[in-house]
A and B are shown apart, each in its own frame.
Chain A
């Protein structure tokens, strides 16, 4: 009698487990299992997060993280082979391509904020960046107050231009703010003296300066317009099982110390294609985030 009950329990348990297994495969995970392929969205010039090297191959800090996630997905689905497809995205196409299922993960430098979380989900933060400005050494700027009455540029549609506008009102700077189409053009405005300063995420400024004709001519401000804001790898909203796998994979990567190793590879050493070195050691805030990974969009959660 007792014996039978054991068998019965075992049967129920197996049934429940297979049931659970079948239930888990919905959304993106099911799609990946069915097609045997996962698609990563990459940016062509978000150095060093996601960009094309001289062989037109997509590389970068966010790409490395995404490949770790791919490994975890492969393990989770117990697949022998998982094909990785790559799809270029721009800031204008990343949402439509994510929504219509063309890409499963967006590996780039997308700021994770509350407003965007209404539309998409983000996994654990992989970078923190504050809004600063770059200027020519010769212009003799020192603090944000020195921007009074000057022409300042930032990229249209970014959180940076919003912070700049707010600071302009708050500190009564009376600066003339002009929007640029993209980062390269905004930097060109400073290069050609059309504007004295360019307000942007500090890491993007560092890469623009490192790639410019004469990197020594430029300085990035100590003053910041914002608290450090999180960058996250983007995925579809309302896909809890997939997010769970991705979150677990990124958390494991960051807490194990491997995240910091990958960080050093892209931010403190020479990177392709031109052998630039961004010379940006890991910040205490990011170190702290790596120890306790979170996908919070709130800058106050990163201290």
Chain B
């Protein structure tokens, strides 16, 4: 292979005048983390609500939860972000659409919310499965104790279900962070976007993507370690995931 490796490239000034190429990648990493975190918070909250809706006795709530999940998980994320960013403002009344388009940091908010909703469908299915895996007697026992449905979920079902689904939630969290890379389609210059910019400016493509890969691995290693710690912290001795 006739490639000129130049690992020193990271310490050379980038042509945008914002420090070195490394600074460029790190600013992308910060944006990746911000987008990933916000998306994960949205995914966790909406996903939990929808997941609960799908296990409630109410037919209407079930149906709503079903539609929500099928809508968000059956469309490729890339298509969804494109729809939110380019198509949605065109469907709104003209002034509202224009307001939406000229919102500062529109790509960031669209990406965080779009990825959040996409991932929330997956969290909802996980939670539904978690609640479904509990013995039926749990719910009945909660009712027998005189707890209302809300209290039953709050004090009995959800604490158990979340503990059960913690390991798959870890991988959903990792997926959320990795999915932020799709946001370059709407012009968000996160880590992958900055690696691509670096490649276009300097033509040092392998160095740029090696660095991006290492940074993603690093972030995800931190997440995995933190989640393992959390798993151990909340484990109940003698029960399912506990030792």
Contacts and interface: CB of A to CB of B under 8 A. Distances in A.
B35 to A, nearest CB: 15
Interface in B186-203: 186-187, 189, 193, 196-203
B212 to A, nearest CB: 13
A157 B201 contact: yes
Contacts of B185: 181, 185
B17 to A, nearest CB: 7
Q: What is the interface of chain B mostly: helix, strand, loop, or mixed?
A: helix
Interface stretch (B69-77, B98-106, B153-161): B98-106
Size class of the A contact interface (CB-based, 8 Å): 35 or more
Interface stretch (A5-13, A46-54, A72-80, A186-194): A186-194
B202 A119 contact: yes
Contacts of A119: 3-4, 202-204
B196 A157 contact: yes
23 contacts: A95-B199, A96-B205, A99-B1, A99-B2, A100-B2, A100-B3, A116-B202, A118-B203, A119-B4, A119-B202, A119-B203, A119-B204, A156-B193, A156-B197, A165-B16, A165-B17, A169-B17, A179-B187, A180-B187, A181-B185, A185-B185, A194-B101, A238-B2
Q: 4 closest Cβ contacts across the A-B interface? A: A157-B200, A99-B3, A119-B203, A157-B197
B89 interface: yes
B102 A92 contact: no
Given A166-B17, A188-B86, A91 B101 contact: no
A172 to B, nearest CB: 15
Given A99-B2, A156-B197, A192-B86, A115 B15 contact: yes
B107 interface: yes
A116 B15 CA distance: 12
Interface string B13-33: 001110000000000000000
B162 interface: no
B6 interface: yes
Nearest to A100: B1
A193 B201 CA distance: 28
Contacts of A159: 15, 201
B205 A92 contact: yes
A226 interface: no
Contacts of A99: 1-3
Given A92-B205, A162-B15, A118 B187 contact: no
A280 interface: no
Interface of B: 1-4, 6, 15-17, 86, 89-90, 98, 101-102, 104, 106-107, 184-187, 189, 193, 196-206
A180 B6 CA distance: 28
A8 B6 CA distance: 50
A178 interface: yes
Contacts of A268: none
Nearest to A98: B2
B201 A151 contact: no
Contacts of A116: 202-203
A147 interface: no
A37 interface: no
Given A156-B193, A237-B2, A238-B2, A181 B102 contact: no
A176 interface: yes
Given A185-B185, A194-B101, 4 more contacts: A115-B202, A118-B4, A157-B199, A159-B15
